A and B are shown apart, each in its own frame.
Chain A
Amino acid sequence: MTSIPNPGPSGITDIFGKPVSEKAASENYLTHGKGIWSWLLTLDHKRIGIMYMIAVLAYFLVGGLFAIILRTMLLSPDLPEVSPLTEAATNNFYNQSFTLHGAVMVFLFIIPAIPAILGNFVLPLMLGAKDVAFPRLNLFSWYCYMGGSMFFLWVLGKGILNLALLNMFGIDMVPVWGHGGLDTGWTFYTPYSTGEDTGGAVVAATAGAFILGFSSILTGLNFIASIHMLRPPGMGWFKLPLLLWGLYATSIIQILATPVLAITLLLLISERLLRIGIFDPTLGGDPVLYQHFFWFYSHPAVYIMILPAFGVISEVISNHSRKHIFGYGFIACSSMAIALLGFLVWGHHMFTSGQSALLGAIFSFITMFIAVPSAIKVFNWLATMYQGSIRLSTPMIYAMGFIWLFTIGGLTGLFLASMSTDIYLHDTYFVVAHFHYVMVGSTLFAFLAGMHHWWPKMFGKNYSEVGGQTAAWLIFIGFNVTFIVQFIAGAQGMPRRYATYPEEYHIWHVLSTLGSYVLTVGLFAALGVWIHSLYRGTRAVANPWGGNSLEWHTTSPPPFENFKGEPVGTDPYDYTHWHYDEKLDGYVLVEEEDPYEAERTAPDRTPAPAQPV
């Protein structure tokens, strides 16, 4: 350890712990350009990531609001009397609420959460690049996301207005502008979605999902090109940080599966507008074909949700255990294996849809098989933690919560993968609990772990550890209380998507609702921690966690073009060059053991060290 440097007048230092002038410290991507248009027209991947963050979190709030409405309506076994709604209107309101909860959460929150926010921000940094391969396309993706989401808002707002006007003032708006409020379930299953009573809402919502698909496809395309072409010298494929492997596998799914959803939704729109007779059984179409098409996208889509989460967890677990990741090659390859196998299991959503028994057996087998690469990851994370010096920071608590939730979600998936038990459990709360454990529990926890892990890098501010950890525990407890009882209710036969239920399930619903309130409090607490950090947080050092992937080799927040030099790839999980500096409460790169030295002295390359700011 060299002498401990004094922090500069700005209170922050570069990666070597050397003081940085106030002027240099204030020049970063956040201050590069001012005004709303410098954001809305930016090509900077970091700013686009932040814009995604704002939008995605706003939609998370909307989706969460519907969840709370659902849970509150389920507090009593009877249909709640919502004055002035009639009974049918209340039921319809419930149907629309679960539909919009699902659609908003899936299309607007979970799918873009990690790739669009963390991926956009971190991926080029991890590659030591100045930007993604196609910056303009990246901005276009954001506009696709916003445009598509507007359709959802339109459907949602129209539904609420229709309901309110009809029941409060007796004004029927349907003849004026058609039905609002989708009630088909987020899957848009035919024949619900081709029926008469959902009106134009299906067209608007599917058009929205179609446009959102472009956002997803183009982001995936951008990431693939970036990872292929922008890797720095010294970063071979097996030196990629595991988050990039996760994002790479995700991108492959995005570009191969999303187009199928796109054509499916186009056909559905044509079915509604032109009556082409492809999905509507009254026209000779086959509704099961719709299910095949839909799940050919939507099953891989659950891996779009979870694979980046795996990547985040690999980063966080290794970093906060202060130990090299265990089984790097296995984790990387299992991501790819999941991406490919994920395309072959969609039929397990259709065990009760009239699929042949042989087909069911094949899908059942492959579904069980996909548990193998998933389990490989879990074992590798546990082995990474084993004998590490674990730092119980907020990201680590979320990451450990992830392992817990993902294990429960994964193991209960085995019951649903077996055809015989699935026929019993199909469309019960057991299924609801299972996919909330994997999709929400796991992805949300990984998202929050990643947000806290990279927060100091994104905004250059520290957050309150006490607040962050409190929120993490509240979310963990609230989530488990909400959903673990749903396994019991489901196994006892409580079907999903009903606003009323027999008295015997009352206790489970009450517990679940109370848990959801705790979860809500926890999520708002996490939001409060972030807002507090933005306004009152202390300046973050370049490397608060001692990570060695390249995003930690630049200042926090990063300058406009990310690096002042041209970094070279090193082993992202080799933490030996970073020494903890108590005075800074962060890690500094020890210059004597400069990892770039070999690269710098190589004869075929002019020196390119990471420079002090």
Chain B
Amino acid sequence: MTTASTHSAPHDGHGDDHGHGHDPNLAHHFHTMSQQVGSAKLGMWTFLATEILMFGGLFCAYAVYRAVHPEVFLFGHYFLDTNLGAINTAVLLLSSFTMAWAVRAAQLGQTTLLVTLLMLTIGGGAGFMVIKYFEYTAKFDHGLGPGSGIYITTTTTDADGNEVTKPQYLISDSAFMAAGDKPFAGEITPDDKAQLDEAIAYQEKYSLGKKHGHGEKHGDDHAKDDHGTHAHADDQADHAAAAGALATSATARALPTDYTAMALPTNGSFGLSATFQETGIAGDPTTSAEIEHGSHTPTTWYTLTERQQGLAYQFFSIYYCMTGLHGLHVVIGMGLIGWVAWRALRGDFTPEYNVPVDLVGLYWHLVDLIWIFLFPLLYLIH
């Protein structure tokens, strides 16, 4: 549109009334196709930058908590199945390959091949999500849901006669400790409530001298104060208020003395999740099963401090946040590829105009790339 446009008539919605036979795909506010394609690509790359920054927040949270509680993360990752993670990595890499090939096919105008490759890419995404579904379900079945599992409140009365509602988080503990296959229903059923009451009573009975709840004193036989328990170097930086609150929380997570009922996770058998072993002699941590994993000191439930046990679910919180957001991106990507495939079937794309395939491809590669970082950080850490 480098002509001298000396209209006296007003422009209509499309300023392309020059009779030059413009590409119908050229939007009216661009001069040339290359300007339009350049804008679209720049926009997409900019958008990908925002995506990276968004995941960056999660990677940052991961780094912080991993640095503060390395044992917790090491312990937590035993519950993830490395083989399934590796298969998923391969699936995503393959789908990236088919996507890249699809872009090439679009550039060459091979429509049939393009549609086939796009469908294969969607298949890869779907396969990834199916495997992820089984991984998630297995975790839920073991009570390792997002967050601290089931959240209940207890109401007590303080000295002034006011009702004080305090949260308690017990399900994860029992998941780690005892119930190898506790179903997670997403809400507290009467059965769950009964189990919880039992767990609370159990903990109170074997409470190592500590009782959760309000205003109760610690017993003498285990009279270490809470800050003593927390005198882990990395805890010292914590807020004073936070430390106080944690003390209460950790009390609610008191470890029973009867170790025999506890399950130990083992790493990476070819199954849908970690398998649980029951082992060890009651009360004697030294006899617990040792898990060989490289040259590192094995981390088991018993080698974690009480505080670290209380934080064990944190690994899964971060796991669910990261993989959940990534999974959402995979689903969105599948939708976008489906849209592009539909347009390809309709015959929209030519060797001259195929920028949507290119843009969706960029997005898909980013989703792939993020998984490439998630896999080692979550599944392979030592």
Q: Do A and B come from one complex?
A: yes
Interface residues of chain A, those whose CB is within 8 Å of chain B, are: 27, 129-135, 137, 191, 196, 217, 221-222, 224-226, 228-230, 255-260, 262-264, 266-267, 270, 274-278, 281-289, 293, 354, 559-561, 564-566, 605-609, 611
Query: Given A129-B29, A287-B242, A354-B237, do A278 and B61 touch, yes or no (CB 8 Å)?
Result: yes
A-B contact pairs, 28 of them (CB 8 A): A129-B29, A133-B29, A134-B39, A135-B29, A221-B43, A224-B42, A225-B43, A225-B46, A229-B42, A230-B30, A255-B53, A259-B51, A259-B53, A260-B56, A275-B147, A276-B146, A277-B147, A281-B241, A281-B245, A281-B246, A282-B248, A284-B314, A287-B239, A287-B242, A354-B239, A561-B15, A564-B5, A564-B7
Indicate with 1 or 0, residue by residue over B227-258, a CB within 8 angstroms of chain A CB atoms.
00000000001110110011011000000000
Cα–Cα, bound, A132→B7 (Å): 22
Q: B249 to chain A: which residues have CB within 8 Å? A: 282-284
Given contacts A267-B321, A277-B147, A608-B5, contact A259 B57 (CB under 8 A): yes
A284-B246, A286-B242, A606-B2 given as contacts; is B50 within 8 A of A217 (CB)?
yes
CB of B2 within 8 A of CB of A260, answer: no
| Nearest CB of chain B from residue A224's CB, rounded to whole Å | 6
List the A side residues contacting B2 at CB < 8 Å: 566, 605-606, 608
Nearest first, the 6 A-B pairs at minimum CB distance are A281-B242, A263-B57, A276-B317, A259-B54, A274-B147, A130-B29
- Give Cα A267–Cα B321 distance, bound, in whole angstroms: 8
Interface residues of chain B: helix, strand, loop or mixed (majority): helix
Q: Which residue of A lies closest to B37 (CB)?
A: A229
A354 CA to B239 CA, complexed, in Å: 7
Q: A284-B314, A559-B10 are in contact. Are A134 and B43 (CB under 8 A)?
A: yes
Docked CA distance A266–B49 (Å)? 18
A611's partner among B6, B55, B248 (CB-CB below 8 A) is: B6
Taken together as a complex, chains A and B put the C-alpha atoms of A608 and B3 apart, in Å, by 7
A274 and B146 contact, Cβ closer than 8 Å, known pairs A284-B310, A560-B11: yes
A residues near B43, Cβ cutoff 8 Å: 133-134, 137, 221-222, 224-225
- B53:A256 contact, CB within 8 angstroms: yes
> Number of B interface residues, CB 8 Å?
60
Q: Say which residue of A260, A276, A566 sits within 8 Å of B53 (CB atoms).
A: A260
A-facing residues in B1-53 (Cβ within 8 Å): 1-7, 10-11, 15, 27-30, 35, 38-39, 42-43, 46-47, 49-51, 53
Instruction: Name B31's closest neighbour in chain A (CB-CB).
Output: A566
Minimum CB–CB distance from B269 to chain A (whole Å) comes to 27
Which B residue sits closest to A274, measured CB to CB? B147
Known: A288-B239, A561-B28, A608-B5. 13 other contacts (CB 8 A): A224-B42, A228-B39, A230-B39, A255-B49, A263-B56, A267-B58, A275-B147, A276-B147, A277-B314, A282-B248, A284-B310, A284-B311, A293-B60
Q: Would you give the 0/1 interface string for B44-80, flagging 1 where the beta carbon is closer than 8 Å to chain A?
A: 0011011101111110110011001000000000000
Q: Which residue of B lies closest to A265 (CB)?
A: B57
Least Cβ–Cβ distance between B369 and chain A, in angstroms: 16
Write out the residue numbers on chain B whose beta carbons fall within 8 Å of the beta carbon of A228: 38-39, 42
Q: Is B313 located at the chain interface by the 8 A CB criterion?
A: yes
Q: How far is the CA of A598 from the CA of B124 in the complex (A)?
A: 57
* Beta-carbon contact of B64 and A289 below 8 Å: yes
Contact of B39 among A229, A287, A606 (CB under 8 A): A229
B14 to chain A, nearest CB (A): 10
* B112 close to A (CB within 8 Å): no
**Contact A260:B165 (CB < 8 A) given known A225-B43, A276-B317, A276-B320:** no
Whether B61 and A565, one on each chain, are in contact in the complex, defined by CB atoms closer than 8 angstroms, is: no
Interface residues, chain B, CB within 8 Å of chain A?
Answer: 1-7, 10-11, 15, 27-30, 35, 38-39, 42-43, 46-47, 49-51, 53-58, 60-61, 64-65, 68, 146-148, 151, 165, 167, 169, 237-239, 241-242, 245-246, 248-249, 310-311, 313-314, 317-318, 320-321, 325
**A566 to chain B: closest residue by CB:** B5
CA distance A222 to B51 in the complex (A): 16
Pair B146/A131 contact, Cβ less than 8 Å: no
Q: Given the interface contacts A275-B151, A277-B147, does A256 sit within 8 Å of B321 by beta carbon?
A: no
Bound Cα distance from A229 to B40, whole angstroms: 10
**Neighbour of A565 across the interface among B5, B242, B246, B325, CB < 8 A:** B5
A256-B50 CB under 8 A given contacts A134-B43, A282-B246: yes
Bound Cα distance A606, B2 (Å):
6
Task: Select which of B4, B50, B146, B151 is within 8 A of A606 by beta carbon.
Answer: B4
CA A561 to CA B53, docked complex, whole Å = 36
B316 — nearest CB in chain A belongs to which residue? A276
B58 partner, pick from A137, A230, A258, A263, beta carbons under 8 A: A263
Would you give the shortest CB distance from B330 to chain A, in whole angstroms? 17
**Distance between B306 CB and nearest chain A CB, rounded to angstroms:** 12
Residues of A close to B246: CB separation below 8 A = 281-282, 284
CB pair B146–A270 under 8 Å, yes or no, is yes
A27 to B38, CA, bound (A): 32
- The residue among A221, A266, A277 with the most chain B CB atoms within 10 A of its own CB is A277
- Tell whether A221 pairs with B46 under 8 Å between CB atoms, given A281-B242, A284-B246, A608-B5: yes
Q: Which of A217, A229, A230, A282 contacts B245 (CB 8 A)?
A: A282
Of the candidates A132, A263, A281, the one whose C-beta lies within 8 Å of that of B54 is: A263
Task: State in angstroms the CA–CA spacing of A258 and B49 once bound together.
Answer: 11
Contacts of B239 in A (CB 8 A): 281, 286-288, 354
Which chain A residue lies CB-closest to B11?
A: A561
List, in ascending order, chain B residues with CB within 8 A of A130's CB.
Answer: 15, 28-29
Q: Is the CB of A293 within 8 A of B29?
A: no
Residue numbers in A under 8 Å from B46 (CB-CB): 221, 224-225, 255
A561-B11 Cα distance, complex, nearest whole Å: 7
Report the separation of the CA atoms of residues A354 and B314 in the bound assembly, to the nearest whole angstrom. 22
CA A561 to CA B10, docked complex, whole Å: 9
Which single member of B10, B57, B64, B68 contacts A264 (CB below 8 Å)?
Answer: B57
For B58, the chain A residues whose CB sits under 8 A away are 263, 267
Residues of A within 8 A of B325 (CB): 263, 266
Q: Which B residues touch A283, using CB under 8 A?
A: 147-148, 169, 249
Contact B238 A225 (CB under 8 A): no
Q: Chain B residues with Cβ under 8 A from A354's Cβ?
A: 237, 239
Complexed CA–CA distance, A607 and B371 (Å): 53
Contact of B50 among A259, A277, A605 (CB under 8 A): A259
